A and B are shown apart, each in its own frame.
Chain A
Amino acid sequence: MLKRKPILVASAFATSAVLIASGCSAGGQNAGSDPNRAQAEVAKVSIDKDGSLSKGPAPEIKDSRKGGNVNILWRQDLAHYDPAVSQSSPDNTVLEMISRRLTHYRIEGDKTTLVGDLATNAGESTDGGKTWKYTLKDGIKYSDGTPIVAKDVKYAVARSFSTLYARGFPYIQTWLADSENFAKVYPGPYEGGELSNDKVEVQGDKTIIFKFSQPRPDFPFAAALGATAPVPQAKDTKEAMDQAPITSGPYKIGSHEPDKSLKLVRNENWDPSTDSIRHQYVDSFTFQFGPQVGEVTDRLAASAGDDKNSASIYQAVAPERFEQVMNDPKIKQQIIDKPTAQVDLYAINTTRVTDLNVRKALLVAFPKEQARLQKGGPYQGDFATTLGSPSTLGWKKYDLPGVTDVDPKGDPEKAKKILTDAGKLGYSISLGYNQTPTSEKEALAIAEGLTKAGFKVEKIPMQPKTFNDTRDKINNNLDFYWSAWAADWPTGVTVYPELFDGRKVADGRPNNTHFNNADVNADIDRILKITDSTEQGAEFNKLDKKIMESVPAVPYVYPRRQLMFGTNVGGASFDVHTVMNLTNLFLKS
């Protein structure tokens, strides 16, 4: 026992010495005041109607070269590999590279165009969007060398009706069946036989026609989703496809160890002259699943050994590292930074907080700036004043006195006055938050701001794993909580009907505000029928303003994303999901 003491003491001193040695640090510097950074801006997405941009090959990236292996570092394995099932980022970015669809997005600089991918153009409609005709390109093949034919696309769409793949995007099925319960109309090919020709018709090997009962002007965007990635009926392995999808893109799956690694190798049967979107620069991509964001930042910043050939895909800079990496001119070169299509809101549960004055007071008191600082300050994104994202078609900043002109620091005096006038001083607000170190601090900052304005805040910590599920229940017993939504394509069609149509309020649905206004519901129906995207966008923007008059949520930020790459990786850019555009990556040497 006596002998143990000196060792213990020595080790304690050693530890303290290490701690103290590391205990000298420089002060902080403002890092986010770069005036040249890309602003959250109105999208410039256009549609390639005549097919001129749909012809391959894709334009070469400057200084690009072929060969080598790029490592991709990401926290977790893809949840799904079947394009019909997957509906999350960054999974879709990976699947879009290995499984081609009818249409997809071609990105050149800041210009994004929806072009034909397997099809020769983004879609042809002669009756205002009720029927859509696609002609397949010549020379398109699966990775096993067999040619892609139109009936495989039809089979893939039919397959997506099956309840086996209920997790996938519902849009095409809903529109074809003209019902939210599309599986009742047609249960998929396993039970329902072939999908009837009055919904999807195939003519020969090259032509496929989609027929809807009402105009669906957004169909070309929906055709870019995984449901149109072709599946030959003979090769449909049902659920097993979730491990081994049918591949047709420039890369195919070489090997896959679930939750550990994925290797994508060149697909020799992919013909670059048929593809105006993708490149095939590197020989292979090796995904390493597991590294947390802090580790990714450190490894890519150091770029030691093989890490110089590595890149992040979805999240790269931990909030506490911004100071360090953004003030280092060398590391800053390895970062790309852009606003996403997402909007972060603090949803107000309108079934519980029924008084408009209380909701207005919440909006006025909300300390956006203090809360945003917890998540990385300006790098988290610009302050939001609308419910829709600036990247949606037709979005425009509007003025609504008392709503869009609130002080981002929060105005406790003004909020207190609203509460006092309404006789609601001391109103109790249950603030639900995700119990992670960052969100916990964000909740503290918000609670402080609301308390100053005369609210009584009940802070409810929620387990990170079940946060979304608990919040998405109708009876969540909460008044105020974080909620985020990103459009599935750059129009309001997948935003306002999903979030603010009161008839869709149900357990597990994304409309966390439970907002239900007959006038707004009718407006949504009306706007969805508008066939011109620009006109529709303008109407959605007016709807945004109309909804905000009722303050069902506090618009918080338009989030940005920062991605990082090793010193030897070139061509880093964002794809349409604001995820690393893998097909543009190459090794500099």
Chain B
Amino acid sequence: MDIGGHVADLVQAELTTADASSVPTGRSKPPVGRSPGQLAWRRFRRDKTGVISGCVVLFFFLVGLGAPLISLLYGKDPDTQYGLERPGLLSDTGIPMKPNGGIDGEFWLGLEPKLGRDVLMQLVYGIRTSLLIALVVVFIVTAIGVIIGITAGYLGGKADYFIGRVIDTLLAIPSTLFFLAFTPIALALFIAPGKEAPAWLRATALILVLSVFGWTRAARLLRGQVLSLREREFIDAARVSGASSRRIVLKELLPNLVTPILVVVTLDVPAMVTTEAALSYLGVGMVEPTPDWGRMIHTGGDYIQTVPTYLVFPGLALLIFVLAFNLLGDSVRDALDPKSHR
């Protein structure tokens, strides 16, 4: 290995740490003293797409959190079958009597065909279902993925081999089929025969099965990152100067992994929202009467000719949310790590 290459590597390593760690290096002072975090925030604010999608995502979170408040102000709830209680709202085959799916001053997004529940309330409470499950799953998946990925990458050798094979095995299992087969059995284990499974138990089961298969992506990605990082000189330097493994992992490795972790999270949240919707679509996710976007879209497909609005609203809501979250993810990465794209 020639000296020039070595030096270049060293400089590169130094730059990477300086750029991503939150501790200001104080070596080459810019005109105004700004931390990398502040720099990232400035870059993010300049990115219009990022700001807009950030606002959209924030809006969805607020709506989800404030669902009961919205219900109170709007005067409707997601479970009441308005169309069945009040004659005249639905036709004798269950289609809303008013045009465009029964949209009017009272039911802002119209009525659900057949049962006649309020579409707006179903959507608003559906956000809660989707987001709650997706966020919990992503939190668990990322935590497990980070721990296992770093362990595999940092320890290497037998530990890496073992974890690698476990990941391979998990990836080889057809997860959707597994959900379909496993969810009813798992629920049957916890529920007395003839009793209804409460919504929280279904949610827990869903979170568990999604988490079991979900952590492999984060783990693989981080293992690769750690493998390349641990050969870098700054890690060698830390080791030589007698730093403990704990310090090396927490203070040297982790700060360099923030970007890939953020990327995984921003990709995983919309992916989990769609997976959850897909499972409900297939009938193993949340069941009636828990409002759910996946199931709304599934049912809406049957009414695309008679009541298109019933498909359009949940479809648009899911589309906008997933799109906004993905764009936000891109912008966050651009802001944190401008080199990777420009």
Please indicate the chain B residues that have their CB under 8 angstroms from the CB of A30 in the complex. Answer: 91-93
Q: Answer whether residue B145 sits at the interface, using C-beta atoms and an 8 A cutoff.
A: no
Q: Which one of B100, B193, B194, B341 has the highest number of Cβ atoms from chain A below 10 Å of its Cβ?
A: B194
Interface string of B63-103 (1 = CB under 8 A from A): 00000000000000000010010000011111111111110
On whether the beta carbons of B309 and A23 are closer than 8 Å, the reply is yes
Interface string of B111-140 (1 = CB under 8 A from A): 001110000000000000000000000000
Count residues on chain A whose CB falls below 8 Å from chain B CBs.
57
Please indicate the chain A residues that have their CB under 8 angstroms from the CB of B184 in the complex. Answer: 463
On whether the beta carbons of A377 and B93 are closer than 8 Å, the reply is yes
On whether the beta carbons of B283 and A294 are closer than 8 Å, the reply is no
Assembled-state Cα–Cα distance A531/B284 (Å): 53
Please indicate the chain B residues that have their CB under 8 angstroms from the CB of A22 in the complex. Answer: 304, 308, 312
Interface string of A1-27 (1 = CB under 8 A from B): 110010011001001100110111111
Assembled-state Cα–Cα distance A438/B305 (Å): 17
19 examples of A-B residue contacts, CB within 8 angstroms: A16-B319, A19-B316, A25-B100, A30-B93, A318-B302, A320-B94, A320-B302, A324-B305, A370-B81, A376-B94, A377-B93, A430-B194, A430-B196, A435-B283, A435-B287, A440-B287, A445-B115, A460-B194, A460-B196
Q: Answer whether residue B203 sits at the interface, using C-beta atoms and an 8 A cutoff.
A: no
Assembled-state Cα–Cα distance A514/B100 (Å): 47
* Cβ of B239 to closest chain A Cβ, rounded Å: 35
On whether the beta carbons of A33 and B92 are closer than 8 Å, the reply is yes
* Cβ of A478 to closest chain B Cβ, rounded Å: 6
Residues in chain B within 8 A of chain A (CB atoms): 49, 81, 84, 90-102, 113-115, 184, 193-196, 283, 287-289, 295, 298-299, 302-309, 311-312, 315-316, 319-320, 323, 326-327, 330, 334, 341
On whether the beta carbons of A26 and B84 are closer than 8 Å, the reply is no
Please indicate the chain B residues that have their CB under 8 angstroms from the CB of A26 in the complex. Answer: 99
On whether the beta carbons of A479 and B194 are closer than 8 Å, the reply is yes
* Cβ of B223 to closest chain A Cβ, rounded Å: 23
Q: Which one of A25, A441, A459 has the highest number of Cβ atoms from chain B below 10 Å of its Cβ?
A: A25
Residues in chain A within 8 A of chain B (CB atoms): 1-2, 5, 8-9, 12, 15-16, 19-20, 22-33, 294, 318-324, 326, 367, 370, 373-374, 376-379, 430, 435, 437, 440-441, 443-445, 448, 457-461, 463, 477-479
On whether the beta carbons of B115 and A377 are closer than 8 Å, the reply is no
* Cβ of B20 to closest chain A Cβ, rounded Å: 18
- How many interface contacts (CB-CB < 8 Å) are there between A and B? 152
On whether the beta carbons of A16 and B114 are closer than 8 Å, the reply is no
Task: For B91, give its contact among A5, A323, A463 (CB under 8 Å).
Answer: A323
Assembled-state Cα–Cα distance A8/B326 (Å): 10
Assembled-state Cα–Cα distance A177/B288 (Å): 50
Assembled-state Cα–Cα distance A86/B124 (Å): 50
On whether the beta carbons of A320 and B306 are closer than 8 Å, the reply is yes
Please indicate the chain A residues that have their CB under 8 angstroms from the CB of B102 in the complex. Answer: 27
Indicate whether A31 sits within 8 Å of B93 (C-beta atoms), given known contacts A16-B319, A324-B306, A441-B115: yes
Task: For B92, give its contact among A32, A321, A374 (CB under 8 Å).
Answer: A32
On whether the beta carbons of B99 and A25 are closer than 8 Å, the reply is yes
On whether the beta carbons of B312 and A5 are closer than 8 Å, the reply is no
Please indicate the chain A residues that have their CB under 8 angstroms from the CB of B96 in the complex. Answer: 27-28
Q: Which one of A9, A32, A373, A437 has the highest number of Cβ atoms from chain B below 10 Å of its Cβ?
A: A373
* Cβ of A462 to closest chain B Cβ, rounded Å: 9
On whether the beta carbons of A326 and B93 are closer than 8 Å, the reply is yes
